[in-house]
Structure 1
Amino acid sequence: MPRAAGRTAPSRRTRATPDTVARLAVGHDAVVLAVSPPRGGIEATEPLLEVGRGVLDGVRRAGVRRLVVVGGAGILEVSPGVRVVDTPGFPEDALPPVRAQVALFELVRDNADDLEWTYLSPPAVITPGERTGAYRTGDHQLLSDGEGNSQISTEDYAVALVDELQRGEFTRRLFHVAY
């Protein structure tokens, strides 16, 4: 199993400067960037992009080639060309963090050709539950079951993340998991 950096996101007091990220990542095989933008209508794009730029530069300085970014479901499409975030009734206060996640995905996609990056999107709902080790994967289309539910347990979402770290099946692209 690859060795991932012990701290994958800086604390509130530590900025994601390239030097900080490099110091934390050196000697590891992979870095997982899992940071949630602030909610409640707060503009989140520039702070998240600052973190993303710091992580990209820092992993390069550390010599780490593998980066997995844990993103959000709002970036996924419910139909061709229509993202979850663009659907009628999408909560207004959730727009800034979802737009920030979209911008982070685009930053990584457009600026990390030299890295083995992956962007992991969850389904619409993640709840504590059972670890089954079974899940479906997709690309930009939101996966749902026969009843229209798009979900996974937190346990199986974590399994999907570790599976990708070990296998590298979805390198240089977004992938999505759900039941």
Structure 2
Amino acid sequence: MKIAVYGASGMIGSRVVAEALTRGHDVTGITRSGGALPEGVRALQADAGDAESAKRVAADADVVVSAIGPSRTGGDRREFLAQLRTLAENLGDARLLVVGGAGSLLVNGHRLVDDPEFPDLYKAEALIGAEALDYIRGLGDSADWTFFSPAPVIQPGTRTGTYKTEADSPAGDTISAEDYAVAMLDEIEKPAYRRQRFTAAN
């Protein structure tokens, strides 16, 4: 399968790239910086907000993964959302998987980001992530999309190959970035959440 990963050098994107490679997929890694990527990856320097580039990438891919994210301060809100729109509007026949945030996950019908104890450090980023989910859901049947929120805590760790999933409520408190990538590739290979949001945890 041909998989294009935007944000291929980031914490999550790099692990999605690595997991896809180990499974024998044809991987294109897209970064703004043009930094080095693992052997076997076709590296491309491009911006997710460039419509012509996004159209070319999608035309040569079965799946486009957006592992880009908003600024922690929320300062680039419009740019991040514009990049997502560009990817969605230039998909062609490709499928779009979006690395989302955990702040929009629901506990007792309320978003985590709206909890008074939600950390201020992550609030701006989480609110933009929730707005991104609303936008992606608004695509409806016009695109083949999946929005994948991690557990509330995601960080580098161990690849165990095991995880639990839920649709809109947390499946647990934590997940390693490595197991997030496992769950992402499992969803790419055997779709269970087409045109839905889901989440995973260890």
Confirm or deny a common fold (TM above 0.5): yes
Q: CA offsets per residue over residues 132-159 of structure 1, 9 Å max, x none?
A: 2111000111122xxxxx0111211110
What corresponds to 1:3 in structure 2?
Answer: 2
What corresponds to 1:58 in structure 2?
Answer: 90
What corresponds to 1:74 in structure 2?
Answer: 103
TM-score, normalised with respect to structure 2 = 0.76
- How far did residue 130 of structure 1 move? 2.2
What corresponds to 2:120 in structure 1?
Answer: 92
What corresponds to 1:174 in structure 2?
Answer: 197
Aligned residues, how many?
167
Match of 1:136 among 164, 174, 179: 164
2:2 partner SS? coil
Gaps of 5+ in 1: 145-149
Q: What is the alpha-carbon distance in structure 1 between the residues aligned to residue 171 and residue 47 of structure 2?
A: 36
Q: What is the alpha-carbon distance in structure 2 between the residues aligned to residue 151 and residue 14 of structure 1?
A: 30
- How far did residue 128 of structure 1 move? 2.5
Gaps of 5+ in 2: 5-27, 34-45
Runs of 4+ residues over 4 Å off in structure 1: none
Q: What is the alpha-carbon distance in structure 1 between the residues aligned to residue 162 and residue 72 of structure 2?
A: 31
Amino acid at match of 1:88: P
1:14 partner SS? coil
Shift in alpha-carbon separation, 1:104–1:132, aligned structure 2, 3 A: same
Conserved 8 A contact 2:71-2:77: no
- Structure ranking higher on relative contact order (CA contacts 8 Å, 6+ apart): 1
More strand by share: 2
Q: CA offsets per residue over residues 67-93 of structure 1, 9 Å max, x none?
A: 10010111101222x111011122224
Q: CA offsets per residue over residues 8-66 of structure 1, 9 Å max, x none?
A: 5x5167351221101222221010011111113x3343222101111011213xx32x1
What corresponds to 1:154 in structure 2?
Answer: 177
Conserved 8 A contact 1:71-1:120: yes
Conserved 8 A contact 1:45-1:103: no
Q: What is the alpha-carbon distance in structure 2 between the residues aligned to residue 17 and residue 127 of structure 1?
A: 29
Identity %: 33
Superposition RMSD in Å: 1.8
- How far did residue 112 of structure 1 move? 4.5
TM-score, normalised with respect to structure 1 = 0.85
Q: What is the alpha-carbon distance in structure 2 between the residues aligned to residue 161 and residue 114 of structure 1?
A: 22
Q: What is the alpha-carbon distance in structure 2 between the residues aligned to residue 143 and residue 127 of structure 1?
A: 16
Q: What is the alpha-carbon distance in structure 2 between the residues aligned to residue 83 and residue 14 of structure 1?
A: 31
